[in-house]
Amino acid sequence: MYLLPMRRTFDRYGSGAFGAGRVDKKHQGQDYLAYPSQPMASLFDCKVERIGQTYSDTKEYRLVVLRYDRQTVLKCMYVDPIVKPGDVLSVGDKIGYVQNISKRYPGMMNHYHFEVIIEGVYVDPHIWLTEYLKRLK
């Protein structure tokens, strides 16, 4: 049996749900609750495509881009990576550690942000994860 992570709901900054309103766009991922420094493991067999920054004004907050298959890219944000581009990951391999996003946004529930992009289209990560986990049974 596999359990989905707890989703960030509402806090003073709004909702962490896919499609939630933002100032100039819709939220393109799902936020999942996590403690700062919590280890993050891969739920997938995938390849690390790149490591980047989440924000242009600081290098403190990082993102890890994973290639799941030819059509599917996964982005994990607010993760201090221990992987590097080209690494091949198996289910359970450690990606890194969840960062403390509440330092940037006081009062926000700490979380990591997860996006799923299929053939260039952002899809609801929670629905995608649910379907993925059903296939593992």
Could you tell me if residue 59 is inside a domain?
yes
CATH of the domain at 124: 2.70.70.10
Range(s) of the domain holding residue 39? 10-136
Domains: count for the chain: 1
User: Computed over its alpha carbons, how large is the radius of gyration of the chain?
Assistant: 14
Could you tell me if residue 2 is inside a domain?
no
Q: In three state form, how does the secondary structure of 60-107 look?
A: EEEEEEEECCCCEEEEEECEEECCCCCCEECCCCEEEEECCHHHCCCC
Could you tell me if residue 118 is inside a domain?
yes
Cβ neighbours of 94 (radius 10 Å): 13
pLDDT of residue 2: 59
Cβ neighbours of 65 (radius 10 Å): 19
Q: For residue range 35-72, what is the model confidence (pLDDT) as tens digits?
A: 999 999 998 899 999 999 999 999 999 999 999 999 99
The model scores a pTM over 0.85: yes
